[in-house]
Structure 1
Amino acid sequence: MELAFSGWSGIVILLVYGLIMLSVGVITFLRNRNIHQSLDEYYLGGRGLGVMVLFFTFFATQYSGNTVVGYPPSAYRLGYEYLVSVPFFIMIIMAYLLFAPRLYSLGKKYNLITPAQWFEKRFKSKGVTILASLLMLYGLGNYLLEQLVAIGQGVDGLTGGTVPYQVGVVFFVIIMLIYGWLGGMRSVAYTDTMQGIALLFGVFMLLIGSIIYFGGLPTSADYMQAYSPEKLGVPDGPGVVNWFSLLVLIGIGAAVYPHAIQRIFAAKDERTLKRSFSRMAWMPFLTAGVVFIIGIIGINAFPDLSTAESEQLVGMMASAVASQNVIFYWAMVLLFGGVIAAIVSTADSVLLTFSSIISNDLYGSYINPNASERKKLLVGKLVGVAAVGILILVAWFPPGTLYQIFVLKFEVLIQIAPALILGLYWNRLHTKAVFTGMLSGTIVASVMTIFGWSYLGVANGLWGLLINLIICVVGSLVMSVSVVEEEEAKQVIGL
């Protein structure tokens, strides 16, 4: 079947969406000329994001290019075992509810811009703050790499290979840097809203088209029963353990994404934040559930794809559906335009937070405390551009599938969770125990991952988290906290 998205049609689609994103950046800059004078304005949008914009920017953070481009191939390769991807996102919402409302209140009280500032305010420790900052920068860098890989694969699939993977990455990175530089958080949030609407519409149209032209789940089940019966089975005992460990790892890890935490700070008020979360509660079924079904249908639509070929599954299915009908063609235009826009805006929000940690928490706090906010912003932007340049070189020849890249970062990022969450509620949490636990958990998770060690099918990051948590809790109970330190903690967290 001839691909509907090929040659100039795909290129025109990409150019149109690119121009829209650039326009958003320019308009945002013209309407907010003081945006480059204030860290608060640039990184948090002046703390004025309303329900709809906040919902869509959370939506884009949770359901990025990895979900739409990377999850169907994983469902294609694993079959019904990958149904666990839906509870992944339910766990993220549950984890948010543990700390987000309280963290918002404290963030507003102390005018916090970055999550690292919370560590500094709560523990008053240079060691804890720098270690947490480095772990967050690692997680952000890993996530940004994932988005760059997704951009290349999305462009390649949309244009039928006319625009090479590497060219797509460079093109949209340039657009991302320009509109992000101009408009900051507001540009990101507005493009998130645009792409979110297009993405939801396009994904549902792809599902409908796939059912009409390839057959639904019963057809795929018949095919799997005849040719791939292992994809119909449920996991064994070790598989269930692995499922559960991934639920915890990704549920907590994604909730403590630094750029997600910044969105908590950017909410207009606590009521706005809670209303946005109430809408997010439906998205696991409407997004992850839908793309899972698309991946299962793909098993029958494009059988016997290799791992590398299956990474292009969404582009192949969208192109096939678009070639059938003019309505589906334009729906797929919206879908893939939304996919690319989602990936780019997610990458830009990651870069924004990466830059904020560099500019405010490392450069502004320890390297040049007397720097003006304008200079801090400039340093953060320049370091961010340099980081993107390095990651482009890595993304040029990606080190693994999107799912493998996705899981890797959580092993380390989740180690900030005990200090972040326990620190909100426990006055006696000891600074030295926090630092030792965070460092020990990071070392254990990293060593196990690097050397390929595993135990009982539990994710390496959870073994690190368990050791981290034990050290934090037991260490805090054993080590004495002075009356002054406990009173200071009470004043900070208000308990």
Structure 2
Amino acid sequence: MTDLTFAGIDGVLILSAYAVIMLVIGYFSGRGDKTLHDSMSNYYLAGKNLGFVALFFTLYATQYSGNTIIGYAPTAYRTGFAWLQSITFMTIIIGVYLLFAPRLYVVSKKLNFITPADWITYRFKSKAVTILAVLLMLWGLGNYLLEQLVAIGQAASSLTGGTIPYQVAVIAFVLVMLIYEWLGGMKAVAFTDVMQGLVLMVGIVVFLGGALYLVGGNFTSATEFIANTEPAKLGVPEMMTSVNWLSMILLVGFGAAIYPHAVQRIFAAESERTLKRSFSRMAWMPPITTGLVFVIGILGIALIPNLNEAGSEQLVGLMANEIAGINGFFYWVMIIFFGAIVAAIVSTADSVLLSFSSIVSNDIYSRFINPNAPERKKVMVGKVTGVLAVGVLLWIAWYPPATLYEIFVLKFELLVQVFPAFVLGLYWKRMAAQPVFWGMLAGAVIAGVLTWTGHKTVFGIHGGVIGLAANFLIAVAGSYLVTVEATEEEKEELKKIDLA
């Protein structure tokens, strides 16, 4: 993103204010709670007591990260109206959540789950299935965290007009994140999400208002400009683009719904009613958030035309410079808005890091290395592992390997392979561990090979979707072919989730 030439020292002050607020929230979230660091449920799931406001905003922050603003607007700029798909796949995520979230919540409450792998372990009673699912989830979380670290550096450096260099910005905010998360766990994460979500929503609306003012006050003038200069971005997409659109909907719709940190928010809800209320409000967020960002990208074509791919990655910063010049009101709103973007990126990164730590602690250390360790030690192992993971990803983020959108796509290719085991296993009692394992493995290998050999799509279909199709086929057909008589103990276990 380009430096915001209007900001400089004002941007430094705003970022410092956000950092202080996040640290204060972290301090008060953990203050006075003597059991916070002695219980995995308290530290990683806020005691499974998140109310409606906190749950809604932490779900919002999970689904909408810095990539939504910094990455989606440039993609709309390059793609044109075909990027309407971003609204579609953000909407379908909510639909997929509602397929399994209420049922999974009831099961998790009954059986005291901490991580998504707890469900996989309980359902299939297979170390192989659990380990493979854990590795795929850690892969997805690692990629997502890397994406956020890159976005933190770009946004903070831009807001300060280069006063804070990219690398310094990443380190500074990573330290802030580690401190408040260490102090307050999920409580700190959820409460910072409330602050950041509110400011981000208001900022997007004002940003759009400023962009509309600069292009003549209406959307029609922008579309007329596009029709005259780049009509391909306005026309009906080609068949290959439409196929790719459908593929992207499947990849993101199934993949994002089983983000480990999103699933853990399902576990953290105080009641099933609170969970359903939060999702009913979330259903309005794709047009309000992704839809407005899409419009901003389209307006950018008329406002700052003829940017190449590298230049278009700077679109949001370039537009912010123009908007800030309108008057003093827009100047300060742009600074506060970009501060909120940085804070929102941090809020997504902290959720991912917390989930990453919990999986290492609960599903690797506690399950396979030291099952008898006290909970306080398990929590500490997760914290330390999280710090080490951030260190490795910081080294990678020092010189970002791809555009944000490319990083965004990469994480879903493997993560989505957990979907059949995770969701079908919730409803279908015949689903068996062995075909689930081989289906998940085959899907991951197919998706990985296609992605890493440069074949991200085949005839417009993402490698992850091709792998997912093979995964479903093997898991379902194999479960029909394999006849495994459940023991009486296993039948009793299945009765607990109404599958017997």
Task: Give the match's secondary structure for 2:6.
Answer: coil
Deviation digits for residues 352-403 of structure 1, max 9, x if unmatched? 0000000011001101111111111111111111111111111111111111
TM-score (ref. length: structure 1): 0.97
SS of the residue corresponding to residue 458 of structure 2 reads coil
Task: Tell me which residue corresponds to 2:221.
Answer: 219
Asked if 1:53 corresponds to 2:54, the answer is: yes
1:455 maps onto 2:490 in alignment: no
In structure 1, how many angstroms separate the alpha carbons of the residues matched to 2:6 and 2:372? 53
Residue in 2 aligned with 1:320? 322
The corresponding residue for 2:485 is 482
The residue type equivalent to 2:179 in the other structure is I
**3-state DSSP class of the match of 1:163?**
coil
Residue from 331, 334, 356 that aligns with 2:333: 331
The CA distance in 2 between the partners of 1:33 and 1:203, in whole Å, is 39
Instruction: Confirm or deny that 1:494 pairs with 2:498.
Output: yes
Shift of 1:489: 5.3
Q: What secondary structure, in the 3-state scheme, does the structure 2 residue paired with 1:452 have?
A: coil
Out of 260, 279, 282, the position equivalent to 2:281 is 279
Task: Deviation per CA, 1:144-191: give whole Å up to 9, x if none.
Answer: 001011111111221222322212111111111111111100000000
CA distance in 2, matches of 1:156, 1:79: 28
1:202 aligns with 2:242: no
Contact 2:10–2:335, Cα closer than 8 Å, also in 1: no
Distance 2:6 2:194 in 1: 25
Q: Following the alignment from structure 1 to structure 2, what is the Cα–Cα distance between the partners of residues 490 and 361?
A: 21
Please point out which of 368, 377, 383 is paired with 2:370: 368
Residue 466 of structure 1 aligns with an amino acid whose one-letter code is A
Aligned to 2:354: 352
Please tell me whether the aligned partners of residues 121 and 492 of structure 1 are also in contact (alpha carbons under 8 angstroms).
no
Match of 1:471 among 471, 474, 484: 474
Unpaired runs of 5+ residues, structure 2, are: none
RMSD: 1.5
The C-alpha deviation readout for 1:94-149, integer Å capped at 9, x for no partner, is: 11011000010000000001001111111111111111001000000000001011
1:3-402 alignment runs, 5 A limit: 5-215=6-216, 216-402=218-404
Deviates more, 1:322-331 or 1:480-489: 480-489
Whether the 8 Å contact between 1:6 and 1:162 is mirrored in structure 2 is no
> Which one-letter code corresponds to 1:442 in the other structure?
A
Q: Secondary structure of the residue that 1:33 maps to in structure 2?
A: coil
- Residues 224-245 of structure 1, C-alpha deviations (whole Å, 9 max, x = no match): 2232222212211111111001
8 Å CA contact retained: 1:201, 1:331: no
Q: Give a deviation string over 1:67-88, Cα, whole Å, max 9, x none.
A: 0111001111111111111001
Q: Report the alpha carbon displacement of residue 21 of structure 1 after superposing the two structures with TM.
A: 0.6
* 2:4–2:317 Cα contact (<8 Å) kept: no
Query: 2: CA distance between counterparts of 1:45 and 1:98?
Result: 24
- Count residues with an aligned counterpart: 495
The answer for unaligned runs of 5 or more in structure 1 is none
Per-residue deviation, 1:488: 4.6
Write the distance in 2 (CA, Å) between the matches of 1:139 and 1:81: 26
Task: Please state how far the C-alpha of 1:492 moved relative to its aligned partner.
Answer: 4.1
**Is the CA contact (8 Å cut-off) linking 1:199 and 1:334 kept in structure 2?**
no
Query: What is the CA distance between 1:340 and its match in structure 2?
Result: 0.9
- What secondary structure is seen at the aligned counterpart in 2 of 1:429? coil
What CA distance in whole angstroms lies between the structure 2 residues aligned with 1:154 and 1:415? 32
Q: CA deviation at 1:491?
A: 2.4
Identity among equivalent positions (%) equals: 56
Residue 4 of structure 2 contacts residue 159 of structure 2 at CA under 8 Å; is this kept in 1? no
